[in-house]
Structure 1
Amino acid sequence: MSAPAPALPLTETIRVRVGFSLTFEVPFPTPMLFVVEPTERPGQHILESRRFISSPESVSHLHRYTDAHGNIVWRLLAKPGTLSIGQDLMVEVPGTPDVQLPELPKTAIEDLPDDTLRFLLPSRYVDSDLVANEAWERFGHIQGGWAQVQAISDHLYNSCIYSVGSNSSTTAQQAYASGKAVCRDFAHMGVAFCRALNIPARYVCGYLGDIGVPPDGVPMDFHAWFQAYLDGEWRNFDARHNKPRIGRILIATGRDAADVAFTTSFGAARLAQMTVWADQVPLDETLPQEWMGEAWE
């Protein structure tokens, strides 16, 4: 086994190459959706982006649209056979850890913007009503919005171990009761406790490579965290790692994982292979000339 490449220096901004490749075996024509494409956001600048597919003949009805949460969705009809699809991007992000603002206050419900109110309600995987009593008992006495949310993150990190044990139907309350969680569950639990305390919170999916930290040995995958609405902005919290991280790249946000599943198949498409990458690269690096399939726009 070769030695890992030396870490690159961290600067005011860094360049991160992110992307994925998914291969499916499709027995019959199957409509599919993908929520996988990062967009321009404050602190997140897309320098290069390539979308690729195994061949134009493997799909029809291929196009992109914007959903009700502002996320980019890929939509297609996969034809019988093997379908490979993916994206490769260069993204510029801050070279500093997540911002910490412990003095931020909690906003009264009557002062919240109208479009945040839906993020106070229970949703498919966020059964915030079932954790409400414990939320107020544990965290109701804490003053300040940031302080409350950070206390939630601390508690989840210390009371749940990172372990596979959930499945695609596991809710926040079920994961919390089991004491086992993956990043999806940590995000759902964080959202649930925030909503129970009348703090708008939403689920986030994206990329988070091992930048500025030792590799943790877990195979690279898409990552999930949560955001709480505090002092007029959505703020990042990550109960899975529970410490400020560098290189976070947001793909999509929603009420819970049902809104931002990286793929949804209306049929029997089987995921045969999945590769995800998120690596810091030199500031002058560009995407390689070779492609992993046919380009599509």
Structure 2
Amino acid sequence: MRIRIGFDMTYETPAVCPLICLLNVHQRQSAQLEQPDYLRTEPAVPLHTYTDGFGNLCTRLVAPPGRIRITSDAVFHAARAYDPVNSSAIQHEVADLPPDTLEFLLGSRYCETDLLSNEAWRLFGSTAPGWARVQAICDFVHNHIHFGYDKADPTRTAAQAYAQGIGVCRDYTHLAIAFARGLNIPARYCSGYISDVGLPKPYAEQDFCAWMEVYLGGRWWVFDPRNNAPRMGRILMSQGRDAADVPLVHFFGQNAVRDFRVWVDELPD
């Protein structure tokens, strides 16, 4: 299926301000784009791209004082299929994990495994290791946190989300990641688009979304504690240890959001 994806964001800065954007489709899915999802700015400024240590495509630019608009519009070809499920996927012993998964066992800025490991074992230690254990984490987090855009807090950590019981998709994801890592399951943070294909109307207003991938049975699998159900049209933009590694836009100075729109719409074949 063909999915139109994109965004239109306007920020205001009081002075010249460098920034980094992680707003492109991740390179492991970029071949599914009909054309490159170039970023455009108004006013036009030089754009420089590079790939970070997590394989994310990053764009550097310098915003002039005043308003800067950042946009992109592209078409993505996605399989008409839900996120794969494998209930028999096993949990690996730490000694058997590939080296490149080990950093996703460690605590990070928003996922305090040192504060939550004992609680993870108390809540989930009796569950069967592997897929069932991760699903138990997602079920718990999905029911424990009350979602609301008015509950968003860019500095809330996993431990705070657990204590407060409120948040947005990044908080669900941080808490589930922290629990998984506390149980010796590699887990990484993902950001991107999720379509409403397959869901009943009316659709909610579109936004970027966060979910996690966990390493089970020799590969990474998608788990989404916010929605807690397989979805169609999930499109990865960036991945890292937590949201600190993958900000949509990172400003090196003061800024304010003036407009923010996202679209993820199925198109006729």
Normalised TM-score (structure 2) = 0.95
Which residue number in structure 2 is paired with residue 146 of structure 1?
131
Matched, 1:240 2:226: yes
Which residue number in structure 1 is paired with residue 11 of structure 2?
24
Amino acid paired to 2:194:
L
- Separation in 2, partners of 1:104, 1:43: 27
Shift of 1:98: 0.9
- Separation in 2, partners of 1:123, 1:92: 34
Which residue number in structure 2 is paired with residue 271 of structure 1?
257
Cα–Cα, structure 1 residues 32 and 123, in superposed 2: closer, same or farther, change >3 Å? same
Q: Residue deviations 1:74-132, cap 9 Å, x none? A: 10111112211111111111111111111111011011011110100000000122111
Matched, 1:179 2:165: yes
Match of 1:18, SS state, is: strand
**Corresponding pairs, count:** 267
Which residue number in structure 2 is paired with residue 259 of structure 1?
245
Q: Which stretches in structure 2 are left out of the alignment for 5+ residues?
A: none
Which residue number in structure 2 is paired with residue 52 of structure 1?
40
Cα–Cα, structure 1 residues 193 and 224, in superposed 2: closer, same or farther, change >3 Å? same
Amino acid paired to 2:56:
N
Q: Residue deviations 1:176-214, cap 9 Å, x none? A: 111112101011011101000000000000001211102
- Separation in 2, partners of 1:40, 1:273: 27
Cα–Cα, structure 1 residues 209 and 215, in superposed 2: closer, same or farther, change >3 Å? farther
Q: How does 1:1-297 map to 2 (within 5 A)?
A: 14-41=1-28, 45-49=32-36, 50-56=38-44, 59-60=45-46, 62-163=47-148, 164-215=150-201, 218-283=204-269
- Separation in 1, partners of 2:29, 2:124: 31
- Separation in 2, partners of 1:136, 1:63: 45
More divergent stretch after superposition (36-45 vs 72-81): 36-45
- Asked whether the equivalents of residues 21 and 86 of structure 1 are also in contact (C-alpha less than 8 Å), the reply is yes
- Separation in 2, partners of 1:48, 1:110: 42
Shift of 1:44: 6.7
- Separation in 2, partners of 1:268, 1:124: 22
- Asked whether the equivalents of residues 44 and 93 of structure 1 are also in contact (C-alpha less than 8 Å), the reply is no
Cα–Cα, structure 1 residues 172 and 269, in superposed 2: closer, same or farther, change >3 Å? same
RMSD across aligned positions (CA) = 1.6
Q: Residue deviations 1:145-204, cap 9 Å, x none? A: 111100000111122221232411100010111111210101101110100000000000
- Separation in 2, partners of 1:137, 1:39: 36
Q: Which of the two has greater helix per residue?
A: 2
Shift of 1:47: 1.5
Amino acid paired to 2:98:
P
Normalised TM-score (structure 1) = 0.86
- Separation in 1, partners of 2:185, 2:200: 33
Amino acid paired to 1:52:
R
- Separation in 2, partners of 1:41, 1:29: 33
- Asked whether the equivalents of residues 88 and 131 of structure 2 are also in contact (C-alpha less than 8 Å), the reply is yes
